[in-house]
Amino acid sequence: MKELKNIKNILFDLDGVLYQDLEAVFGQVSKKMTKYISNKLNLSLEKAKELQTNYFHKYNTSLNGLMIHHDIKPEDFLKYVHDIDLSFMKKDLVLRNELENLNIKKFIFTNGSKEHAKNITKHLGINDLFDGLFDIVDAEFSPKPTAKAFDLMIKKFKINPKETLYIEDIAKNLSIGKERGAITAWLINDEYWGKKESDKEFIDYKIENLSLFLKEIRLLQNS
């Protein structure tokens, strides 16, 4: 882990990284996506779900496919699908402590919306601990893992990828980070879409617990 001693920035994906209960959040988001597509395209819920899944696999986000093929207004879509109930989510005091005591710049890099990211981090009790947030609007609706999204993010945050650790739960999203010189870490999970390409050489670290990994970095940097 020697190379982590001198990193100056950490890029965090949001969903599946800063919290792990994806089903509780994305179960709601997915249902709202299906309903939105059904209403907008006049499809049955079954057909809408099928289209939603196909677009996700083909275009990295369902929204991207909807914009390409159906001229869907992204702002309306994002506002609708991220209007969910997060009352179940508890503050993560362990994660807060590690983020707070890590003397490194911290950024969120997500394919979701800013409002969704702010909502999640507020419920986790960590919303005041990040130096920047880059969402799908900032990416001009070009989702991870496109080079365009990564390069726009680097430009916005004014950071050097070679001084940066990039943490994701979707393994393939790390490929562009590695190309640009970042150190990459995959948060191990059993989701089909998350673990796809997790055996590739562009992944430097495979981690099971984010807070413990951040603690290891903190201890390393303080040694």
- Residues 124 and 63 reside in one and the same domain: no
- Residues 101 and 179 reside in one and the same domain: yes
Residue 148 CA neighbour count, 13 Å, CB half: 9
- Residues 117 and 61 reside in one and the same domain: no
- Residues 115 and 160 reside in one and the same domain: yes
Pairing relation of β-strands 183-187 and 132-134?
unpaired
Return the CATH number at 32: 1.10.150.450
Instruction: Among 81, 114, 130, identify where a domain stops.
Output: 81
The span from the CA of 58 to the CA of 41, in Å, is 19
Q: How confident is the model at residue 48 (pLDDT cuts 50, 70, 90)?
A: very high
Query: The pTM is what?
Result: 0.94
The span from the CA of 163 to the CA of 180, in Å, is 11
- Residues 12 and 48 reside in one and the same domain: no
Return the CATH number at 120: 3.40.50.1000
pLDDT at 2: 86
- Residues 71 and 129 reside in one and the same domain: no
pLDDT at 205: 98
The span from the CA of 23 to the CA of 91, in Å, is 18
Residue 144 above 90 pLDDT? yes
- Average pLDDT of the residues in 127-146: 97
- Residues 123 and 183 reside in one and the same domain: yes
SS (HEC) of the chain: CHHHHHCCEEEECCECCCECCHHHHHHHHHHHHHHHHHHHHCCCHHHHHHHHHHHHHHHCCHHHHHHHHHCCCHHHHHHHHCCCCCCCCCCCHHHHHHHHHCCCEEEEECCCCHHHHHHHHHHHCCCCCCCEEECCCCCCCCCCCCHHHHHHHHHHHCCCHHHEEEEECCHHHHHHHHHCCCEEEEECCCCHHHHCCCCCCCCCEEECCHHHHHHHHHHHHHC
Write out the residue range of the structural domain in which residue 70 sits. 24-81
- Residues 39 and 111 reside in one and the same domain: no
pLDDT at 193: 87
- Residues 133 and 153 reside in one and the same domain: yes
